[in-house]
């Protein structure tokens, strides 16, 4: 069976909005060279199950939606490329590594642990194995995301990125909030450094208005994707959104739960409203910048497609 491409891209349907969403952890197509000793059940707990499906109404709201096809347990695109645990490797890595606390907790670029005390691999990995994961999966994913963000930014003068995840309803011993019950949503912008915090606040308030419990920047502050993408002073706003799995699935059987359709409808409405909000802000942003020639007086600052 041919391998799937590392990332699937769903294009906006109808008028585009200045939004790009990505779901980096919802893939479960195992590459041929993925041979963990951890059980499938253990590896499934690392899976942000159905997240790309929950956000599937985003293209109809004018957003581009990217989704990884491969498991995050194979290579995690939400980590820095050099966040590698040297203990995983059978040979020295050819360039300097910078393992972070993610690697220390067993969940760096390449996972050491599927769950606490559950190793991923029987023996250390060869350099060539890890290099292939980076070259054939990690970099194409990152490159595709960067290209889409750049294209939207070039067109609108600003871009809003939602990095879409799900979380266990309770952290385990590998998580920073081990044992704690989690709210329906955690939204984060690394304390206002990856997005204008006003946009993060807007998003959290929208969800709270629909009756959801929301925490901002706790226990998660945002991972490496929002860190890499976000540059609010350049009009690049990147917000991480974590959905509590208990809100939409059975965490034991991994099946969609009775509230799945309602959650998908909520997120569809959120993207539609956020698209309108972002489009209005992009117009202001574009008007405030002189990089583009001024539009003729009879036109709005927005691109023609978004003019009603
Ligand atoms: Zn995730």
Provide, rounded to the nearest whole percent, the portion of the chain with pLDDT above 90: 86
Ligand 1 centre and the CA of 26: distance in Å?
8
Reported as a pLDDT band with limits 50, 70 and 90, residue 307 is very low
Residue 128 counted as domain residue? no
pLDDT digits (tens, 9 = 90+) for 95-113: 999 999 999 999 999 999 9
Report how far residue 219's alpha carbon sits from residue 186's, in angstroms, rounded to the nearest whole number.
8
Residue 31 counted as domain residue? yes
Residue 294 counted as domain residue? yes
- Assign residue 205 the CATH number of its domain: 3.40.630.40
pLDDT digits (tens, 9 = 90+) for 56-85: 999 999 999 999 999 999 999 999 999 999
CA distances from 123 to 87, 112, 239 (A): 10, 10, 37
Residue 150 counted as domain residue? yes
Residue 112 counted as domain residue? no
Report residue 304 as tokens.
């023609």
Give the total number of structural domains in the chain.
1
Ligand 1 centre and the CA of 299: distance in Å?
41
Ligand 1 centre and the CA of 66: distance in Å?
14
Ligand 1 centre and the CA of 263: distance in Å?
17
Report how far residue 7's alpha carbon sits from residue 154's, in angstroms, rounded to the nearest whole number.
22
pLDDT digits (tens, 9 = 90+) for 7-38: 999 999 989 999 999 999 999 999 999 999 99
Ligand 1 centre and the CA of 232: distance in Å?
22
Ligand 1 centre and the CA of 302: distance in Å?
33
Residue 88 counted as domain residue? no
Taking the whole predicted model, whether its pTM rises above 0.85 is answered as: yes
Residue 90 counted as domain residue? no
pLDDT digits (tens, 9 = 90+) for 157-202: 999 999 999 999 998 888 888 888 899 999 999 999 999 999 999 9
What is the domain range of residue 44? 7-78+136-306
Report how far residue 62's alpha carbon sits from residue 225's, in angstroms, rounded to the nearest whole number.
22
Residue 266 counted as domain residue? yes
């Amino acid at each position: 069976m041919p391998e799937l491409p590392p990332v699937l891209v769903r294009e906006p349907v109808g008028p585009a909005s200045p939004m790009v969403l990505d779901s980096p952890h919802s893939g479960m197509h195992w590459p041929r060279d993925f041979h963990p000793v951890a059980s499938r059940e253990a590896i499934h707990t690392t899976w942000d199950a159905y997240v790309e499906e929950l956000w599937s109404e985003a293209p109809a709201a004018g957003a581009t939606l990217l989704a990884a096809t491969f498991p995050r347990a194979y290579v995690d695109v939400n980590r820095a490329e050099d966040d590698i645990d040297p203990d995983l490797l059978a040979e020295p890595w050819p360039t300097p590594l910078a393992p972070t606390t993610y690697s220390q907790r067993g969940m760096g670029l390449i996972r050491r642990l599927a769950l606490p005390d559950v190793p991923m691999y029987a023996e250390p990995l060869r350099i060539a194995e890890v290099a292939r994961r980076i070259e054939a999966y990690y970099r194409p994913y990152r490159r595709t995301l960067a290209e889409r963000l750049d294209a939207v930014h070039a067109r609108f003068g600003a871009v809003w990125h939602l990095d879409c995840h799900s979380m266990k309803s309770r952290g385990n011993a590998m998580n920073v909030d081990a044992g704690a019950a989690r709210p329906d949503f955690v939204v984060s912008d690394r304390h206002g450094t990856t997005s204008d915090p006003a946009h993060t606040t807007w998003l959290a308030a929208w969800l709270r208005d629909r009756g959801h419990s929301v925490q901002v920047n706790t226990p998660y502050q945002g991972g490496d994707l929002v860190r890499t993408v976000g540059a609010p002073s350049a009009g690049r706003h990147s917000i991480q959104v974590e959905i509590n799995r208990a809100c939409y699935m059975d965490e034991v059987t991994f099946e969609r739960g009775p509230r799945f359709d309602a959650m998908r409808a909520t997120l569809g409405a959120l993207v539609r409203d956020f698209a309108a909000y972002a489009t209005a802000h992009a117009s202001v942003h574009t008007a405030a910048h002189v990089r583009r020639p001024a539009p003729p007086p009879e036109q709005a600052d927005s691109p023609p497609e978004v003019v009603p």
